[in-house]
């Protein structure tokens, strides 16, 4: 794992900084790799993509991936018009992603009725459809493990892999801990398709999405698991409740130290 792959999600600066301005903040802090979390419907338009692309070029920041806002992409909806509109929005998203030079998409997937066969079936069908559409556009659709969504445990990874679609995965350390699942097990299950990694810490009684190093995560175990699967992609800090942008530098130093220890 390369320390130069340490980046951040623009979600770190939400809600006080507009998405496009977050690119400038990232660059000012010395980060050159980001995931852009698109927060509103207007941010899925091509005119906004042009703004993002210009800001990225001007600041020297590379956009690795786009994070989809969950409620805008219920691709499996039983209501025909909603299904048509969300799938049309997804196809437009592919144009946006291509315009800004992204390589991957991070998606939560099914978030209600996550164990209901009547919803899981259509969700899996829509996932295969979306993965194929993304692949045709030169992108990788990555389903993220999220404690309150479908993908929570290794067996869910196996089901998604079983679709036979060109699908990737986003591993989130905080979400694994909140799900009560060993991060190592999820990382191992995602092996061969792990495309993006989100790093945040976890504390049972504390705020969610803590800075790496401020919770109880077994970070040596996480880094060792990533090394075992030869992961070489982005390591993106994704926290909430940022008190000061400069604290992201503390997180980067913590991750760098962890990578050095892991490589010994």
| Average pLDDT, integer, range 232-258 | 94
Q: What is the dihedral sign for C-alpha 249, 257, 9, 176?
A: negative
- Inform me whether the pLDDT recorded for 167 exceeds 90: yes
* Architecture in CATH for domain 3-262: Alpha-Beta Barrel (3.20)
pLDDT digit string, tens, across residues 11-39? 999 999 999 999 999 999 999 999 999 99
- Inform me whether the pLDDT recorded for 238 exceeds 80: yes
Where are the domains positioned within the chain? Answer: 3-262
| Rounded Cα distance, 234 and 130, in Å | 22
**The model's pTM:** 0.96
What is the per-residue pLDDT for 172?
Answer: 98
Question: In percent, how much of the chain has pLDDT > 90?
Answer: 93
- Inform me whether the pLDDT recorded for 206 exceeds 80: no
3-state SS, one letter per residue, for the chain? CCHHHEEEEHHHHCCCCCHHHHHHHHHHCCCCEEEEECCCHHHHCHHHHHHHHHHHHHHCCEEEEEECCHHHCCCCCCCHHHHHHHHHHHHHHHHHHHHHCCCEEEECCCCCCCCCHHHHHHHHHHHHHHHHHHHHCCCEEEEECCCCCCCCCHHHHHHHHCCCCCEEEEEEHHHHHHHCCCHHHHHHHHCCCEEEEEECECCCCCCCCECCCCCCCCHHHHHHHHHHCCCCCCEEECCCCCCCCCHHHHHHHHHHHHHHHHCC
pLDDT digit string, tens, across residues 77-95? 999 999 999 999 999 999 9
The token duo for 132 is: 């194929």
């Amino acid at each position: 794992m390369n320390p130069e792959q340490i980046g951040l999600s623009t979600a770190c600066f939400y809600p006080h900084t507009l998405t496009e301005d977050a690119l400038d903040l990232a660059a000012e802090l010395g980060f050159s790799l980001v995931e852009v979390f698109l927060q509103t419907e207007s941010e899925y338009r091509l005119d906004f993509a042009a703004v993002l692309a210009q800001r990225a070029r001007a600041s020297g920041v590379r956009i690795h991936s786009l994070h989809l806002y969950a409620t805008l992409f219920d691709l499996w909806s039983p209501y025909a018009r909603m299904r048509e509109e969300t799938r049309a929005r997804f196809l437009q998203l592919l144009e946006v992603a291509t315009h800004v030079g992204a390589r991957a998409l991070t998606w939560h997937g099914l978030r209600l009725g996550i164990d209901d066969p009547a919803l899981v079936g259509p969700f899996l069908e829509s996932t295969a459809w979306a993965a194929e559409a993304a692949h045709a556009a030169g992108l990788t659709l990555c389903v993220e493990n999220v404690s309150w969504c479908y993908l929570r445990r290794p067996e869910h990874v196996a089901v998604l892999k079983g679709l036979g679609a060109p699908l990737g995965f986003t591993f989130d350390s905080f979400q694994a801990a909140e799900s009560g699942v060993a991060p190592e097990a999820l990382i191992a299950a995602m092996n061969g398709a792990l495309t993006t990694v989100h790093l945040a810490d976890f504390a049972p009684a504390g705020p969610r999405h803590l800075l790496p190093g401020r919770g109880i995560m077994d970070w040596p175990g996480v880094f060792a698991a990533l090394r075992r699967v030869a992961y070489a992609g982005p390591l993106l800090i994704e926290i909430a409740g940022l008190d000061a942008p400069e604290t992201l530098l503390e997180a980067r130093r913590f991750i760098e130290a962890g990578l050095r220890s892991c490589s010994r």
